[in-house]
Amino acid sequence: MSNNTLNIIYQNLLPHNGYTSYIPNFIKDTHSSFLHQLLNEVAWKHDELTLYGKKIITKRQVAFEGDEHIAYTYSKQEKMASPWSKIVLELKQKLEKELNTQFNGCLLNLYATGEIGMAWHSDNEPELESEGIIASLSFGATRTFQLKHKQSGEKIDVKLENGSLVVMDMHSQKHWMHQLKKEPKIKEPRINLTFRQFKNEVLK
Ligand SMILES: O=C(O)CCC(=O)C(=O)O
Ligand SMILES: [Mn+2]
């Protein structure tokens, strides 16, 4: 799907330099059943990374699912995808139908409380399709997602609600960073699923 087609469906939040949109209630989930299923069915693990020679265990829990042989380097380590769990596969198929595209990997994040966030970054790794999109689903507590332009510093805040979808193109990753703000008053968990499109040539 071209970005133009996406633009027609969902309004762009960015004034320039890329496409990012927010779609509330993309998944109808009034009883938070997706949050609970994902909490139970995904093999959540605290991420481990080595920073300045010190082993650090992140507060955030993660999982990486995908097609066979998909590998991704995050937190400075290459990870092989686990097979798709039933619930994540179901969500992937719904997204693929609605967005008329395919995803071959998904990075999952579990933020147990608002004290856990994710710092400013862009998802512009070389493994990802340069003309692809990232589709990001949120379940559980409403959290603030922020975008910041790399040159001008312009900032955009979006409240990500249960069942909502964010669609980002790769052009926006080049020019904008994003973060999940820490909000210590929030005591409930949130789960985020970022469906991604990996290049075929990096398949192992
Ligand atoms: O939790 C979120 O909404 C952001 C996650 C994110 O940016 C990422 O996994 O790269
Ligand atoms: Mn990201």
Task: Calculate how far, in angstroms, residue 110's C-alpha sits from the geometric centre of ligand 2.
Answer: 13
Q: For the chain, what is the mean pLDDT?
A: 92
CA of 203 to the centre of ligand 1 (A): 23
Can you tell me which atom of ligand 1 is nearest the CA of 107?
9
pLDDT band for 80, please (50, 70, 90 cuts): very high
Q: Is any atom of ligand 1 closer than 6 Å to the C-beta of 104?
A: no
Confidence at 181, pLDDT banded by 50, 70, 90: very high
Question: What are the extents of the domains in the chain?
Answer: 3-199
Is the pLDDT at 202 greater than 50? The verdict is no
User: CATH for 3-199, among 3.30.70.100, 3.40.50.800, 2.60.120.590, 3.40.50.1000?
Assistant: 2.60.120.590
Residue 78: pLDDT band (50, 70, 90) is: confident
Summarize pLDDT for 7-58 with one digit per residue, the tens: 557 899 999 999 999 999 999 998 999 999 999 999 999 988 787 888 888 8
Can you tell me which residue has the tokens 């969500």? 91
C-alpha 97 to ligand 2 mean position (Å): 23
Nearest residue (CA) to ligand 1, atom 4: 180
Tokens of 72: 């991704």
pLDDT above 80 (res 6): no
Q: Is the pLDDT of residue 148 over 50?
A: yes
Asked whether the beta carbons of 192 and 136 are under 8 A apart, the reply is yes
Ligand 1: residue of 142, 180, 196, 197 to mutate (most ligand atoms within 8 A of CB) is 180
Which helix (H) or strand (E) segment is 60 a member of? strand 54-66
Atom of ligand 1 minimally distant from the CA of 190: 1
In 3D space, the residue among 177, 193, 144 whose CA is nearest the CA of residue 17 turns out to be 177
* Number of helical H runs and strand E runs in the chain: 4, 13
pLDDT of amino acid 54: 86
Instruction: Grade residue 4 by pLDDT with cuts at 50, 70 and 90.
Output: low
